[in-house]
Amino acid sequence: MAFFLLIVLSVYAAFGCGKDAEAESMPAPVIVSLVPDYLQPGGTLMVYGKNFGSDAGAIRVLFDGREYPAESLSGNRVGVTVPDGGQDGRPVSVRLSRDGNVSEAVTSVWRTDVPEITSIDGGRGLYGELVTVIGKRFGAVGERVVYFDETEAEITEESETALTVKVPRIYKENVSVTVVRGGVRSNAVNFSYDLDRCDSLLIVTADWKTEQLREGVVWKSAFLKAFDAPHSMNVVYVTPSQQNRLGIGCSVSGLRRTSLQCGDAGALLGVNGGYFDEKKKPFVKIGGTVVQSGYDRVSSTFGNAAIVIRNNRVEIRKVAGCNAEARTLEGDDILVCGPFLLKDGVVEQLSTSTTHNTARHPRTAVGVTGDGDVIFLTVDGRFPGKAAGMTTPQLAKAMRALGADDAMNLDGGGSTTLWISGKGVVNYPCDNGAFDHGGERPVGSVVYVK
C-alpha cells in the first residue's frame, strides 16, 4: 500500500504539478515596449515583451498597482483595455504579472485628448478630391495633421470634429488615414483609391501640348505620371473626311522606316503598324488587294485584332481566328495585329502568361471613338526616370481615358514611332538607346493619314 501511494505521489509531482513547476521555473516577465506609448482610457494597450507564458488567464496588467486581466495573448504580445480614472498628462507605472511574477515597471502617461476618427465622408477614391474626416478631439487650428499612410494631406476646412482634406497622390489601393495632434496619433481608418479612375484622371488632366495640324487632325504630347511611373505620350485625334483619309502601307520587299513609308504615301502623319517577325506576320490588304497573307499559326497575342478601313470609315475588330478570319473580312485596307484591347470601353481580359502583356514596353495603339474618330497613341519606354512604357492592360486603360471605345495594340518596343510631315519623328524611339528622336527602326507596315 505504501508503495502504491509513493507511485501516485510521484505521478502527481511529475504531471499534476507540471504547469506550476513550469510557471515557477520561467523567468519573470519583461516589458519591452507599449503601443501606443500613452494610455487612453477605454483604448487598447498592447504590451510587447517576453516570458509571458501561454495562459492569458494567468496574466494581469498593473496600472499604478491596480490589476486588470489580459484580454489577449499572442506570443510576445498582451492586449488589455486601459481603465478610466487617469488625469491627463500624469505619469503611470505599468507592470505585467504572470502567476505572481511581476515585471519591472515601464512608465507611460495618461492621455485623455487622443484624437479619434469615426468615419470618412465623401469621395470616390480620386486624387485631389475633397473628403471629410469625422471624429472628435481633433484640437484647435494648427494642432492637427492628417496623414494618408505617411503622406500629409492638405487641410482645407477644419474644426474640433471635422477635417476636410484633399486626397493626396498615393499609388495604393488601400491606405490608413490617421490624425496626429500634439504628437499623438489617432486610430487608423481605411481609405480606398480607385486606381483606374485615378490613372485616367492623371492622363486626362496632364499638361498636354496641343497643336491642330489641319482641320480635323489634332496632335497632343505630354510628359506625365500614371500607373505609378513616368511617361512620354503622343496622341493624335483624326476625324475622317474627304480631306483626312486613312490608309495602310506595307513594305513587302523589305523593312523600311515609318517615316519613309509614310512619306512615300504622301501622308500627313503615321505610326508603325504590324509585327514583321516571320511567325507574327500579319494579313495585310491595301486598296482591296491582298499584299501579304500572313502567318497561318500566329498567336492570338499578336494577331487577334484588325484595323479595317472601308470607305474611309475605320473599325477595330476582334478576330479570334487571327489571320485566317481576317481574310474573310470586307474592307479596302486591313491590317492584323494584337492583342485586342477594348470593346465598347471595356478592357479585354488579357493573358498574364506572357511578358508581352505584363511587362512595360514602348507601345503603339489605334482606336476609334463612338463618333467614328480615330485615335493614334504612342507611349515611349525603356528610359528609366523618363519614359517607363506600359503593359497592355495599362495601354488599354490609357486608350479608354483618351476617349477610345474600341482599340488594339500595334507593334511596339523599338518599332514605336509617330511621324508627322514637316516635323519628323516626334516621339522618342528607343532603338538607338538614346532619349532623342533618332532611334527609328525599319518596320514592315504603317497606318497613316493623308
Q: What does the pLDDT look like over 280-309, one tens digit per residue? A: 999 999 999 999 999 999 999 999 999 999
- Alpha-carbon span 352 to 360, nearest angstrom: 13
Beta bridge partners of 376: 236, 366
| β pairing state of 289-292 and 269-272 | unpaired
pTM: predicted TM-score of the whole model, two decimal places: 0.83
Mean pLDDT of 403-431: 98
Q: If pLDDT is split at 50, 70 and 90, which confidence band does 13 have? A: very low
Kindly state the percentage of the chain with pLDDT values over 90: 89
Q: If pLDDT is split at 50, 70 and 90, which confidence band does 183 have? A: confident
pLDDT value at 147 more than 80: yes
pLDDT value at 89 more than 60: yes
pLDDT value at 24 more than 60: no
pLDDT, tens digit, for every residue of 318-337?
999 999 999 999 999 999 99
pLDDT value at 241 more than 50: yes
Q: Count of alpha carbons within 13 Å of 96, Cβ hemisphere only? A: 31
Q: In terms of Cα–Cα distance, which of 294, 273, 297, 305 is closest to 444? A: 273
- Residue 189 in grid coordinates: 481608418
For residue 280, give the DSSP letter.
G
Helix H or strand E segment including 18: helix 18-25
- Residue 403 in grid coordinates: 476617349
pLDDT value at 11 more than 50: no
Looking at residue 20, its pLDDT comes to 52
Mean pLDDT of 243-265: 97
Q: If pLDDT is split at 50, 70 and 90, which confidence band does 403 have? A: very high
Mean pLDDT of 359-369: 98
- Alpha-carbon span 62 to 437, nearest angstrom: 72
Q: Which long-range contacts (CB under 8 A, 24 or more apart) does 47-51 make?
A: 47/77, 47/78, 47/79, 47/80, 47/94, 47/96, 48/76, 48/77, 49/76, 49/78, 49/96, 49/103, 50/76, 51/26, 51/27, 51/98
Looking at residue 50, its pLDDT comes to 96
In angstroms and rounded to an integer, the radius of gyration of the C-alpha atoms of the chain is 34
pLDDT, tens digit, for every residue of 419-446?
999 999 999 999 999 999 999 999 999 9
pLDDT value at 7 more than 70: no
Query: Which residue type does 234 have?
Result: N
Looking at residue 86, its pLDDT comes to 75
